[in-house]
């Protein structure tokens, strides 16, 4: 029996100062960008919504 050990996919968001930033993160980290939502957060303008398998988030975490 072959076990399904494929990495799980997750929907997650990363706040950003612009929609363009979402596209830049999409390209830089080879992500699947499924939505961009406007936010009322004082610091950021949008939430980039990604749907990806778990990967090394470290670089993306510190990318602002």
Partner 1 sequence: MTTKKPNSRGVLILFYAESDEAGWENRRNPLGTLTDYLKEHQNRQSYPEIPQPGYRLPQIKRNLTTDEPDRLDSRDGDWIVTRVHRYSAMSGNCEWEETVICYCQYQPVTPQWERVPRLEEISQEKKPEFVATSSE
Per CB under 8 A, residues contacting partner 1 are: 10-15, 23, 26-27, 30-35, 37, 39-41, 44, 47, 49, 51-52, 54, 56-58, 60-62
Neighbouring-strand partners of residue 49:
13, 35
Please report how close the Cβ of residue 1 comes to partner 1 at its closest, in angstroms: 20
Residue 48 near residue 64, CB atoms below 8 Å? no
Non-local (6+) Cβ contacts of 12 within 8 A are 49, 50, 52
Please report how close the Cβ of residue 31 comes to partner 1 at its closest, in angstroms: 6
| Residue (14 or 21) nearer to partner 1, CB | 14
């Amino acid at each position: 029996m072959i076990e399904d050990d494929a990495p799980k996919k997750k929907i997650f968001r990363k706040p950003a100062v612009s929609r363009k930033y979402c596209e830049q993160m999409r390209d830089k980290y080879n992500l699947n960008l499924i939505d961009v939502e406007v936010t009322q957060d004082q610091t950021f303008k949008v939430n980039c919504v990604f749907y990806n398998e778990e990967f090394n988030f470290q670089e993306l975490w510190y990318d602002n």
